[in-house]
Amino acid sequence: MRINLLLSFLLLPLCAGAEDLFTISGRIVNDRGEAVEYVQVGIPERGIGAISSVDGRFEIEVPAETLEFHHVSYETAYLPVSGPAEGLVIVLKEMELPAAVAIGGDTKEKFLLRPGTRFVGALGGFDVRDGIKKGVELGSVATARKPFLVRDILFTVTDNYIPGCVVSVNIYRIEGEPEQFINVLHKPIYVNVAMSSERQYFDIRPEETLLLEPGKYYISFALVDCDANAIREYWDTPESERNPLGLHLYTPVYFKSSYYRSASLGKLDSIPFNIGISVKGLEYQ
């Protein structure tokens, strides 16, 4: 028997309260006029967030506060909101990438992170039958005791029935009290997950040189895109004719400390289990 730990309580949209909300929409580009994909748009302090489409388009409802635009390769942009607006063009400025860092000394191959103990029969992941909730983020916590060069990020998908599914992998350094999550990537990592009832194994190798200093890190896995038209067709199909397997992506579940957030730019909360991400590379001695 399988137990589906879909964390459905994580997928509920966050409410901004009883105040007036304004619809803000537009397109996000870089300074060359090229679309910027999968930008996090929202108000972090309120836990209000959405993700732009692959062509940079976004739409979000927010109160009269400052809207923020986050992407790992660009400087954060800000937009004061005083009323509804459409057709906006938000220009993001590219961040200069730091020079690759190399340190001397011997190294040895090592896993920085392993999944933990398997929760036999349990599955976790994302379900979009009740709405497209891009930005839901799950992950695992790792501690680097010595400088560590990331070579491979591995995870498993047991089955996927979300059409056009794209997930992102991110790494945050955890600092301070209360905890702050600081993004350490300079290039986004996106993974296309094919629709399949078969188990899929992923071994992701970051394009950038990713050297982690000693400290605590959160390695996350988030849903950033899916085929909205195909999902709308699912909703428009009479219930008796729908695919009984639904619209989900499942992964194995393991007992090990982790975090989740229920929406892009929302608060990260601790949970006692994770979806089985592993990280391996070279530890400097």
Per the CB < 8 A criterion, the answer to whether 98 and 186 are in contact is yes
- How confident is the model over 167-184, as a mean pLDDT? 92
pLDDT at 204: 95
- How confident is the model over 102-113, as a mean pLDDT? 87
User: Considering the chain, what is the average pLDDT of its residues?
Assistant: 88
The amino acid at residue 24 is I
Which of 39-48, 87-96, 118-127, 185-194 is the least confident region? Answer: 118-127
Whether pLDDT at 92 is above 90: yes
Which of 70-74, 124-128, 201-205 is the least confident region? Answer: 124-128
User: Which domains occur in the chain, in start order?
Assistant: 13-92 (2.60.40.10), 99-284 (2.60.120)
C-alpha atoms less than 13 angstroms from C-alpha of 120 in its C-beta half-sphere: 1
Looking at the DSSP bridge assignments, the partners of residue 92 are 30
pLDDT at 102: 65
Whether pLDDT at 4 is above 60: no
The CA distance from 103 to 85, in Å, is: 49
Looking at the DSSP bridge assignments, the partners of residue 170 are 220
Q: How confident is the model at residue 116 (pLDDT cuts 50, 70, 90)?
A: confident
What CA–CA distances, in Å, run from 253 to 6, 43, 216? 10, 31, 22
Q: What is the pLDDT of residues 232-267, one digit of tens each?
A: 888 888 988 888 778 899 999 999 888 988 888 888
The CA distance from 234 to 84, in Å, is: 31
Tracing tokens 């702050």 back to the chain, one arrives at 180
Give me the percent of the chain exceeding a pLDDT of 90: 61
- How confident is the model over 99-107, as a mean pLDDT? 74
Give me the percent of the chain exceeding a pLDDT of 70: 91
pLDDT at 224: 94
pLDDT at 101: 66
Pure H helices in the chain: 228-236
3-state secondary structure of 277: coil
Whether pLDDT at 133 is above 70: yes
Per the CB < 8 A criterion, the answer to whether 41 and 77 are in contact is no
